[in-house]
Amino acid sequence: MKIKRESSRLLKPSYPTSNHPPTDVSIPLSSFDTVSFDTHVATLYAYRPPNPPNTVIEQGLRKALAEYREWAGRLVYDDGGRRCILLNDQGMRFVEARSEYPLPNLDEPTPDYLELHQPITGIEELAQVQLTRFACGSLVVGVTTHHMIADGFSTSHFLVAWGRAVRGLPMDPLPLHDRSIFVPRSPPCSQFDHRGVEYVDRRETKHSDPNDTIVVHKAHFSSEFLTKLKSRAAVDSPYRKPFTTFECLLAHLWRKVTRARGLDGNQITKIRIAVNGRARMSNPPVPMNYFGNVVLWALPQSKAEELLAKPVGHAARLIHDAVARVDDDYFRSFIDFSSSKEKMEGLVPSADEDEMVLSPDLEVDSWLRFPFYDLDFGAGCPNLFLPSYLPVEGLLIIAPSINGNGDTDAFVPLIEKNLQSFKDDFHSLEESSRLLKPSYPTSNHPPTDVLIPLSPFDTVSFDTHVATLYAYRPPNPANNVIEQGLRKALAEYREWAGRLVYDDDGRRCILLSDQGMRFVEARSEYPLGNMDKPSPDYLDLHLPITGIEELAQVQLTRFTCGSLVVGVTTHHMIADGFSTSHFLVAWGRAVRGLPMDSLPLHDRSIFVPRNPPRYQFDHRGVEYVDRQEMSHSDSGDTIVVHKAHFSSEFLAKLKNRAAVDCPYKKPFTTFECLLAHLWRKITRARRLDGKQITKIKIAVNGRARMSNPPVPMRYFGNVVLWALPQSKAEDLLAKPVGHAARLIHDAVARVDDDYFRSFIDFSSSQEKMEGLVSSTDADEMVLSPDLEVDCWLRFPFYDLDFGAGCPDLFVPSYLPVEGLLIVAPSVNGNGDIDTFVPLFEKNIESFKEDFYSLEKERMKVKTESTRLLKPSYQTSTLPPADIVVPLSPFDVVSFDTHVATLYAYRPPNPPNSVIEQGLRKALAGYREFAGRFVSDAAGRRCILLNDEGLRFIENTSDYPLGYLDKPSPDYLDLHPPLTGIEELAQVQLTRFACGSLVVGFTSHHMVADGFSAGHFLVAWGRATRGLSMHPLPLHDRSIFIPRSLSRFQFEHRGVEYVARHESATKRSDSKDAIIVQKVHLPSKLIAKLKSMAFVGSPYSKPYSTFECIIAHLWRKITRARGLDVKETTKIKIAVDGRTRMNNSLVPMRYFGNMVLWAWPESRVEDLLTKPVGHAARLIHEAAARVDADYFKSFIDFSSSNEKTEGLVPSADEGKMVLSPDLEVDSWLRFPFYDLDFGSGRPQRFMPSYLPVEGLLILVPSFSGNGDVDAFVPLFEKDLDSFKNDFYSLD
C-alpha cells in the first residue's frame, strides 16, 4: 500500500471559552489502569466517498479533546513513583496521508495495515490519528490509543463523541474522569487470590517468540450459523437463560483452535476473557460513562481432550461460569489486593504486551457491544471497522460484522502451520463425541488385561492412522442403528477398542482393554458437494489421524440433502488394508442383522522364525534402516492431490501396449500396467535428471504368498512387505511401458514365501536387528524421486452396506504426501480405476497434460535417408562455384547459429520426391543456402557459393503425430541439429503413421534474417507447385557502403558491439529449469489491450498490435520474475531496416540480414506502477529511434577499423538467461504460412524448442483471424505467477 504522509503535527484541545483548565494536573492511574497493557491499540475505520475535508474532521477532534483531555496529555511519574497522566495539553499526534491508488480490499489483516496508522511503540503521545485518503475518494481513519488510559469501552465512547463534534452535535453523555473512586474497603477483604491472574511474580515473566510465521485470519460467522451454534450449546445448559452469542462463539473457537494446534490431550488450555466491571460493580456502582479502565479477566480452563471430547455446550458452560465468578466481590477483592503493599510485594501485572505466542492458551477481547460503528463524521457510519494487524498467536478479537444483521467477525492469529487446519474446521458443528465399547452377546465378557505383542509385520507398518471416506445417498439408517452394529463388530474385532502399550520387555503390544473407539456424530447445514477432487475439506469428514490414543475412530456426518459420509480412521500397526476392509464389511453385516461370516483369526504369534533361521535376503534398506539414516524431507512447495480416472477401455489399450514387451505366457496384470504407466508419467512430470535412480515401494500381501505354512486369508493384522523395482530415469522414459511393467512384475515376484520367511527370521534376530529401525516413516512428506503405492483394487470396501446399499463413493482422505499413490476401484463398478496422485503443484500440470497419453515418450523417429541436396538449374550453363560473398555489416552482428522452424501438414501431402525437386529449384534462386562459410584473404567471413548443397533428411515414425501445441524437447527430433554442422541450411521431412507431415527447416542466421528466410520458403512452395519464384531475391551484399564522410551519430558500443573481454564474462546460466510457455492472445483481447494502451497516448495513431503485446508481456514477465523495484529492465527488439531505409537502396526482396535492435528500458517500479500505455510508448519511441539515420550510422561505424578495434558483436547465442532483460523476435509479418506444397497451407507453424530465458517469439496464430501466439521461456519457479497473471488487464 503506497502511502505518502503529507503532514504530521500535534493537535491540542479546542476549548469553547478562553478560560482554559490548568496544564499541571497529574491524575494517578487507577488499580485497573496499572494492570492493563502498557502499549497502544490500533483500530481502522474505512469510509466510502464522499467524506468531509480533513479540516472539518480535525476541528471536531480538537473539540472532543477538550472533553477527553487525557488523550492530549502524557504519562509521567509522581514523587511517590506512581504512574500518572499529566493533563498538559501537549496534544495528540495528527497525520494526513494520501495514496495515488484506490483503496484495496481490507478484509484479511496483513502487515499492509500498519501503513494506515501510526506506530504503536516508542512514542510519547497517548493517542494518534492518521487520515489516509485514496484515489477513489475513500478515507481510512487509523486510531491508536494507549491502553493504560482507557479500555475499549471508554475509547469507543470517545470516538463517538468525536464524530458528534464533527457533525456539530453535543457530546452526550460527558465522561466521568474521577479515577480516585476505586478505594479499598475498610478493613480490606481479599477474598480471591489475584496471583497468577492479574499479577505474577516478577521472576515468572517471560516472553515466547515464534520461529514460525503467524497469520491473522478473519473468520466470518453468519447470524444463521450463530443461531444454530446457540441452539447446539443450549442442549447442555443447566441454566434457564441460554448461553450468550459471545459465550457460544468463544466456546466454538476455543475448541477449533485447540484442535488446529494439535495440543496433547492432557495439556491444560485456558482463555483470558476481558470482563467489563461497569456492569458488575454495584456497591457502590460504577457509572457507564466512567472514562478509564474497569476490566479484569475470567480464566476458564480445561484439559484439551475433555474440551474436544465433550460438546460445545460444555465449553460454553466453562466460559459462562468463569465470567460469572468475576462479580462485584471479585472486583472489590482486586481493589483491596492491589492497594496492599504487603500483598503486592514482588508482583508485577500479568498483562504482557511483548508476549507473541499464547499457546496453549487464548486471550479474547469482545468488541460486540462497543459503538465503534457510530463513528460518523457526517457522511454515514464506517463502511468497515477492524483491528489493525496484530500477529499475537492466540489473541482473538470478536467484533460485529459490517452488514449489521447480527453477523460476527473473529480475528484469529495462528501459527501458519496450524491455520489451514483451523480454516478447514471452524464452520463444522459436530454433534457429539464419545468412546464406543464392544457390545457382547452375553454377560460373560472377556478379560480386559490381555496383552498381544505386535508381530514383525505390525512393527514395520506405519505408526499412524489411515483415513477413508464412504459417501451414501439417502435414505440412510439412523445413527443409533449404525452405532449398535459397530459395537457388535467391535466384540469380534476387540483390537480397535484397545490401546497400544509397552510390555515389561519394552515390546509394543495391543492391550485388549475395551476402552473403546472414538465415535463422533456431526452435521452440516449444507448439502453434500462433489467429492471428486481431493482437498483439505476432506479432513472435516473424519477425526485427526495424529496425537490420539484410540486405535480406531468413526465420524458420521449428515448433510441437509440426506446424504451420509462415514469417515473411518484406523491405526496401521493394528491391521493392514485387507484386514481393515473385512472389519468394515463385518460392521455393515452387523448393522443389517446378519452374521459376521469368516470370523477373524487374531493369533499374532503364528509368525515364528525357522530353526535354524535362514537369512536369504538382506532386509537392511528395505524393511529396516540404520537408526542414524532416518531423516525427513519436506519442501516449501505446495503439494496437490490429483484424482486420475482411467476407463476400462484405456486400461485395455494400456495392457495391449505393455504386452508387446512381455516375455511371459501370462500378460501383465492391470495393476502392473497402470503402475508402470504412472511411474513413467510422474517421472517425466518431476523432470528428474536422466541418471537419477527412481524406485517404487509396492505393498505385497503375504496371505497370497506364504505357503509353508500358509496364512489364512481371514488373519487379522498386518502381513505386508514391499517390492522395490527401480530404474534410471532415462531408461524408464526411453524404453516402452512394457519395460516398466516387467520391472514391477519381477520385483513383486521376488517377494515370495522365501522372502517373507527370511524377513521373519531376520526380524527375530537380536544380532541382525542391532541399531536398526523400521524404514516406514509416517512423517515423510516428499518421496521424490521415488514413489510408494497402495493397491486397494481387491479390497471389498464397496461392500460396507448398512442396509441401504453400497456406498455411492469411496475415497481415501486428503493425504498430501508427494509421491504416495493410492489405486482404488472406481465407483461405477465397470472396471474403471481411480488413482490418487499427490505431486508438487509445479509438476501437476505437466502430469495432467500427459497422463492419458499412450504414445512412446520420445517421438520414435527413424531416419530413412540423409544426403546433400544441390541446386537444380534450368539450363546447362551452371554458375561458377568459386564466388566468395563477404558478409555484410548486418550479417556480422547476427547470431552465429542456426534457427529452426517447424511446419505441420495434414494429409494428403505430395511425395518427398516432389518436395525435394521443388527445393532443388528454389536453391538455384537462393544459392547461399547451398554454400559454405569461408574466410577470405583479409580474414573476413564470407559465403562461398560452391553449391555443395543443403542437408536433406527423410524420416518416418510408426506413430501418429501428436498435438504440437506445447513446446518441448520432443521438437528437437523434428529437425536436424543446430550446432556442429557446416551446411548453411537443412531440411527434414518427417512422415507419421496418420499421414501427417512435419517439415523441419534450419538456416544459419548470418546468411539471412527471418524475413528473407520466409521468402525463400515461399519460393520453395511455389517451385514445388510448378509456379515461378517471384519476386526473385536481390543477392548483392555490397550495397551497404559507408558514407563518404562517415557520421557516427549514435553510440553502437554496448548495442550492436561490445568489448571483446565483456563477451566472455556476461553469459549467465542457471541450474533452474526453463520452460517454454505458449500463450495465446485472442484478437478480442488484443483489441482491448490496444484500447487501454491508447488512453493517454500523445500520438494521433494508436500503438501497433506488436507494441501493445510486447508492453503487456514486458510487464507481466517482470512481475513474475519478482525483480527488485529499483532494477532496470530492457528489451532487445529486432527492427527490420528494409522499411526504414530508402527502398531504392534496400528493396524488400533483399536477401540477407537487415536487422538492428531497439532497446527500450525502464525501472521495474515505473514499469509496474504505470499503465500498459506507458510501456507501449517506451517501445514505440525506442523503435522509432532506429531509423534510416541510425542504420546509416551503424554502417559507418562498422566499416571503421578504428571504431571497431577490440569490439565483437553483442549477439551471443550461448547466453541462456536474459533476466532482467528480454529479447523479442516478431514473426507477425513473415509469410511462413504461405509455405504451400500443393495441398494447402501448414496446419501449424512454430519455432522449435529454444529454452533461452526471456527470448520471446511472436507468431500469427494458425486460426488466421488476427490471434497471436507468443512463445515465452521462463524459469519454472516464475511460470505459475506468469500464467496466473497473464490474462489480467490491470
- What positions carry a catalytic annotation? 147, 376
Q: CA-CA distance, 428 to 232, in Å (whole number)?
A: 12
For residue 869, which phi and psi values (nearest 5 degrees)? -110, 120
Grid cell, residue 695, equals 524406485
Please tell me whether residue 1156 adopts helix, strand or coil conformation: strand
Q: Residues of 193-211 as b/e, b for ≥16 C-beta within 10 angstroms?
A: ebeebbbbeeeeeeeeeee
Calculate helix-pair angle for 1083-1094, 1172-1185, nearest 10 degrees: 90
Q: CA-CA distance, 900 to 468, in Å (whole number)?
A: 52
Q: CA-CA distance, 1241 to 1017, in Å (whole number)?
A: 12
Beta-bridge mates of residue 1059: 1207
Of 1131, 1132, 1187, 1190, which Cα lies nearest the Cα of 1162? 1131
SS (H, E, C) 716-756: CCCCEEEECCEEEHHHHHHCCHHHHHHHHHHHHHHCCHHHH
Segments of 1139-1267 assigned E as strands: 1155-1158, 1161-1163, 1207-1209, 1222-1226, 1244-1247, 1255-1260
The burial class, CB within 10 Å (0-12 / 13-18 / 19+), for 608 is: exposed
Q: CA-CA distance, 480 to 482, in Å (whole number)?
A: 5
Q: In sequence order, which residues have a C-beta less than 8 Å from that of residue 1128 and are 6 or more positions away?
A: 1161, 1162, 1163, 1164, 1220
Q: CA-CA distance, 514 to 442, in Å (whole number)?
A: 15
- Degrees to nearest 5, angle at CA 599 with 595 and 600: 150
Q: CA-CA distance, 602 to 494, in Å (whole number)?
A: 10
Cis preceding-peptide flag for 796 (omega within 30 of 0): no
The burial class, CB within 10 Å (0-12 / 13-18 / 19+), for 602 is: middle
Q: CA-CA distance, 128 to 119, in Å (whole number)?
A: 9
Q: CA-CA distance, 114 to 135, in Å (whole number)?
A: 19
Q: What distance lies between CA 1055 and its chain's CA centroid? A: 40
Q: Annotate 330-391 with DSSP letters as a single string.
A: HHHHHHHHHT-HHHHTTEEES--TT--B-TT-EEEEE-TTS-GGG--SSS-S-SEEEE----
Please tell me whether residue 936 adopts helix, strand or coil conformation: coil
Q: CA-CA distance, 1154 to 1195, in Å (whole number)?
A: 11
C-beta of residue 907 within 8 angstroms of C-beta of residue 917: no
Q: Which residue has the cell 516413516?
A: 777
Q: How many CA atoms lie within 13 A of 1108 on its CB side?
A: 21
C-beta of residue 314 within 8 angstroms of C-beta of residue 236: yes
Q: What Cα–Cα distance (Å) separates residue 51 from each residue in 20, 133, 141, 641, 1071?
A: 31, 10, 11, 49, 54
Q: Annotate 835-875 with DSSP letters as a single string.
A: EEEEEEHHHHHHHHHHTT--S-SS--EEEEEEEEE----SS
Q: CA-CA distance, 56 to 49, in Å (whole number)?
A: 15
Q: CA-CA distance, 164 to 142, in Å (whole number)?
A: 18
